[in-house]
Structure 1
Amino acid sequence: MTNHTKKATCIRCKCNCLRWVLVTTVLIGLSGCRIWDMAAFQWKNENAKIAWQSEDKNVDKAFVDEAITRTVVPFTMLNDHILVNVTVNKTMPLTFVLDSGAAATVLTETNKTNALKLPTNKPIAIGGSGGGKTPTAYIVHDTHIQLGDFSISDLSVIYAPTSAMPFRSVDETYFDGVLGADFFNCCLVEINQDAKVLIITKPDDSSREHYGIEQWQEIAMTVKSNTPYFTTTLHDGKSSKTVKLMLDTGSTGTLSLFAQNERFALPDKTFAATSTGIKGDSANLVGSLSHFSFGDVTFEHLPTYFRFEGSNSQDGSDGVLGNQVLKRFNTVFDFSEERMWYQPSKRFSSFIGADRSGLRLLPHSQGAIVLDVAKDTGAYAAKILVNSIITDFEGEPVTYANFDKLKMALSHPKRETVPLCWEFKNQKFCNEIQLDSRI
C-alpha cells in the first residue's frame, strides 16, 4: 500500500564538479604493478571522449557537436533490471543493465562477449555483497561504448568472468554488461518508466530547466566513490530512524537494511531468504516494514530484506533501495550536482509483494532456473528441486519476455495457486503451486 502526498518545499543540494574517475568497490592486495594499472585506469577515464552523433550524414560535423546533446533509447525490463541495447567497439549489439550503483562500466562473460576476445592480462580484485571470497576481474583499456547517438570512447572498463559475477554459468548470465558511473557522471540520466525510454542529456542549465516544474519533485543525494546515496526516514515498528541508503537501479530487490548491528527491530513475522551478490550469498530475514519514506511518498508495509551476513555497507550506509521501488517512479539522476528528480509513474500504485511460493528464480536461456526452494511452502510440497528449470507458466513457455510476469504471479496477494511445468534431469513435471503469505 502507498500514499502520495504533496510537499510545498524542495531540497536544494550542493553543486559538485563533474567527475570522471572510476573507482571499483574494493581493491585488495594490489602489487606495485597493479597499483600502476589502477592509476592508468583512472587517468584513462578522466580523458575519455564523449560524443553525440547525428544519423544525418549531410549535417556538418561541427554543427552536430554543438547541437546534438541528447539521445533517447528504449529499454526493457527483466528480473527488475533495466536493459538497453549497447554496441561495444563498433561490433555486434549487446544487452547492458543500467546500474546506478556500479562504480565502473562492466563487461560480463557471455557467448557474445566471448567473441570480443577480451584481454585478461590486467587482473584486479573487485567486491560487492556476499560472504565469500573476493573475485578477480580484469581491466580492459581503450573501449568504445555506443548507446543510441551517444558514445564514450577511450574508456577503461572491467571485464568480469562468470566466476566474478552472481551467476553459475553463461546460461544464467542474461546481460552482456553493466552501464555504471561513466554514464551517470557525464550526463543527466532520465529513466522514464511510462515511455520505457532512457534519455541521456548533457548536464547544463537548459537541460535541467525541464525538470524544475511542478510535475517533478527534487531530492538531495550525495555521490561518494561514484555511488549515489540519499538520507530518509523509516519506522521499523518500534521507533523512527534516519538512514543513509544507496540508490541502486542494479538491485532487483525492494529495500535491504544492514541489520548485523541490531539497529533495526525485526517484524513479528519473517522468513529466511538468500540473496546472491558478487562475493556470494547473503543471509536475510524478509519482513514487512511499517513505514518508509522516499521524498514526499510514504510506503506502508513494504517487504524488506534485513541482511545479517554478506553486507557491503559502503561509506557507512545503512542499506540499499532497489529497483522494485525505484521502478515505480520516473527518475532523473544528476550526479554532477548531487540531486535526483522523481515523479510517480503510471505503475506507482501497483502492489509490491513478497514471494508466496517458496521459489527463488533467475532468468535462464531455457526458462527460469530454481536457485532455492523454501521448506513448508507450495513449491516444496510440489517437490520442485533446486536446479530445476521452470519451462511453462499458465500454459505458455517461460522466456525473458514473461519472466517478470511469472515472478509477479508468485507474489500476488489475490492468487491462491499458479500452474507451472518444470524439468529436472530430463524429466518433465506439471502441478498447481499453492501460494500462501509468508510475512
Structure 2
Amino acid sequence: MQSAKITLLLIFALFQSLYSQSIYKLPEGKTSDKIRFELINNVILIPVEVNGLELTFLLDTGVSKPIVFNFLKAADSLQILNAEKIKVRGLGNGNDLEALRSSHNTFKIGEAVNSDQAFYAVFDPELNFAPKIGIPIDGIIGYDFFKDFIIEINYNRKFIKIKRPSEYKLRMCRRCQVLDLNLENNRPYVLSYVDIGANKNIPVNLLLDSGNSDALWLFEDKVNNIQLKQKSFIDYLGTGLNGSVYGRRSKIKKITLGVFDIEQPTVAFPDTLSVNFMRSYEGRNGSLGGEILKRFNSVFDYSNSRLMLKPNSYYKDKFSYNKSGILVENSGVRMVMELNAKQNSAVSFRDEKSININSIIKPNYKYNLKPVYTIYEVLPNSPAEKAGLLRGDEIVYINNRSTQDMTLEKLTGYFYKDSGEELKFVVIRNGIERKFAITLKSPLE
C-alpha cells in the first residue's frame, strides 16, 4: 500500500569533496548493534542523536550527506557547528534553496558514533514533510552510515542490525539472492530487468532509493525502449527539496531482480524536467523504491559492493493505487473533551509517534489534542471529484468511524481497497458537516 508519497532525492555531489571521510564506530569490544525502526508509508524512520539532541531521521539509501530540516523541534535546540551558507539543488521544479553546511558534528545511531559528521541544514518550512507522512521527520541519512557497516534490514521485525565488516561472514540461504551493487556518487545502483508489456526483458540500472515510498520509477528513453506503453494517469509523485514532482502512473508486466520476478508492479514515469535533475549519473534508468524494497529482508555490504535479498511476508502483497482520487494530510490538531473514567490529578504525557499531546484531567473530563485530516488535492475525473469532495474539506468520519484516533496511514489505507467498494465520508466544510459517498475505481480502469 502506498498511503502517502515522500520523495527525497537530493543532489549534493558537488560538495562531497570538501569533507574528509568521517567514520561511524561501535564502542570498543562491541561488534554489532540492533536498532528498532518505524515503517511508515514504505519508508524507514530511525532515532538519531545529533550533537546530543534526539531526532527522527529517514533512512535513505538515495542520499549522500545527511540533511537536517531545521524548522521542526531542532530549531531552538540543535547546535549547528562550523556553519557556512550555501545554495543547494534537489528534486522538483522550484528554485535553489539556501542551506547551512555544517562540519565536525557528533551523530549517534544506536551505539554507533561519528564525532566528525558533516550535514546540511535547510530552513524552508515548505519542506515540512510531516503533514504528508503523518509524523515529524527531522532529517535524512544514507551513505555516510551505510559505508561503515554491514547493515541488515529486517522489514518483518522492524529492526536494523549493524555489524563491523571485519566480523561479518556472508551466510547464504536457499531463498537468498546476492546482487552486485554499483556505487556512483555515493549512491547504490543495481542492474535489473523490466518487462514493460512487450514480453521483452529490458536491462535497467536502478538507484536503490529507500526514501522513495513508490515501487518503481522509470525514465522514458526511446533509445533503450523504456517507454510508457500501458494505460496511465497523471498523478502527484511526491515532494523533493525543490517542490512537487508530477508524472504518469501505470503498471508493468514484471521487474526481475536476480532470480526474483515481481509481477504487476506499479510504476511511475516522472516528468522530463524532474528527470533531468535526477540524472546525476548518466547510466541511471530510474529508481527502486520502498514499496519493492520492503518485500525483502536485505543485507547491504558497501565494502564488497553487494546486496543480499531474501523474500519476506510482504513479498506477495498486491500492488495497488489510490482509487479515491483524494490526497490527505495532517493539517493540525484539535482539542477534544472526553469523559474521564478516572478521577485523578493533572497529568501530561507525550505520544512519540505523532505529536506532543498534553492531557489535562479534571474531575469529570480530560482534554486531548487529536489530529485533523484535510484533503489537499482532488484529482480530476476521480470518484471524489464526481461526488463533490473539495480541497480543504476536513474528514471527520469515514465509514462511520471517527478519524481523530486514526493515523494518517490508517485513514488513507481505505483509499486502496478494491474497486467497487463504497466509502462514506463526513466532512467539515466552512464549519458545516456534510456527507458524501464515493465508489472506489482504479484510475487505470
Shorter chain as denominator, the TM-score bin is: 0.7 to 0.9
**SS of residue paired to 1:283:** strand
Query: Can you list the C-alpha shifts for 1:221-246, whole angstroms capped at 9, x where unaligned?
Result: 11111111111111111343111110
The two structures, once aligned, show a CA RMSD in angstroms of 2.8
- Secondary structure of the residue that 2:90 maps to in structure 1? coil
Measured in 2, the distance between the counterparts of 1:250 and 1:171 equals 12
Partner of 1:51: 25
Native 8 Å contact 2:64 2:141 kept in 1: no
Q: Which residue is equivalent to 2:418?
A: 413
- The letter for the 1-side match of 2:11 is T
1:379 correspondence with 2:410? no
Counterpart of 2:267 (choices 281, 292, 304) is: 304
1:234 to 180, 194, 219: 194
Report if the CA contact (8 A) 1:166-1:277 is conserved. Answer: no
Residues 119/428 of structure 1: CA separation in 2 closer, same or farther (3 Å cut): farther
Residues 192 and 256 (structure 1), Cα distance of their counterparts in 2 relative to 1, 3 Å cut: same
Read off the aligned partner of 2:197 and give its amino acid letter. G
In structure 2, the residue matched to 1:314 is 280
Say whether residues 1:99 and 2:60 are aligned partners: yes
2:184 is aligned to: 224
Moved more, 236-245 or 172-181: 172-181
Partner of 1:147: 109
Q: Deviations over 1:129-165 (max 9, x none)?
A: 2222222221122222222222222211111223573
CA distance in 2, matches of 1:323, 1:134: 27
Q: Contact 1:356–1:410 (CA<8 Å) still a contact in 2? A: yes
Task: Answer whether contact 2:324 2:415 (CA < 8 A) is retained.
Answer: yes
For the Cα contact (< 8 Å) 2:426–2:433, is it kept in 1? yes
User: How far apart in 1 are the matches of 2:390 and 2:101?
Assistant: 38
Gaps of 5+ in 1: 1-23, 29-34, 54-64
Per-residue CA shift, 1:247-269, capped at 9, x if unaligned?
A: 01000111111126584332432
- Letter of the 1:344 partner, please give it: P
| Whole-Å separation in 1 of the counterparts to 2:112 and 2:396 | 38
Q: Which blocks of at least 5 consecutive residues in structure 2 are unaligned?
A: 1-9, 333-370
Are 2:133 and 2:329, in contact at CA under 8 Å, matched by a contact in 1? no
- Indicate conservation of the 8 Å contact 1:80/1:404, yes or no: no
Partner of 1:161: 123
Distance in 2 (CA, whole Å) between partners of 1:154 and 1:122 is 16
Q: Counterpart of 2:216?
A: 255
Cα 1:50/1:266, change in 2 over 3 Å: closer
The alignment's TM-score, normalised by the length of structure 2, stands at 0.79
Counting matched residue pairs gives 388
CA distance in 1, matches of 2:174, 2:131: 47
Listed as ranges, the matches of 1:414-429 within 5 Å are 416-424=421-429, 426-429=431-434
Question: C-alpha displacement at 1:351, in angstroms?
Answer: 1.5
Structure 1 stretch displaced more, 342-351 or 264-273: 264-273
Q: 2:252–2:264: 8 Å Cα contact kept in structure 1?
A: yes
The 8 Å contact of residues 162 and 168 in structure 1, kept in 2 or not, is answered as: no
Counterpart code for 2:388 = K
1:424 and 1:265, CA in 2 relative to 1: closer, same or farther beyond 3 A? same
Contact 1:162 1:170 in 2 (8 A): no
Distance 1:314 1:368, change over 3 A: farther
Deviation of 1:181 after TM superposition, in Å, equals 1.1
Matches within 5 A, 1:344-423: 344-365=311-332, 366-394=371-399, 395-397=401-403, 402-413=407-418, 416-423=421-428
Residue 301 to residue 423, structure 1, CA distance change in 2 (3 Å)? same
**Alignment pair present for 1:213 and 2:173:** yes
Structure 1 Cα separation of the partners of residues 221 and 90 of structure 2: 17
- The aligned counterpart of 2:143 is 181
1:278 corresponds in structure 2 to: 241
- Shift of residue 379, structure 1, vs aligned partner: 1.6
Match of 2:291 among 324, 327, 330: 324
TM-score, normalisation: structure 1: 0.80
CA deviations 1:256-296 (Å, max 9, x no partner) are 11126584332432111122322223331111112211222
User: What residue is the counterpart of 2:30 in the other structure?
Assistant: 68
Do 2:129 and 2:136's aligned partners in 1 also have CA atoms closer than 8 Å? no
Q: Does 1:244 align with 2:205?
A: yes
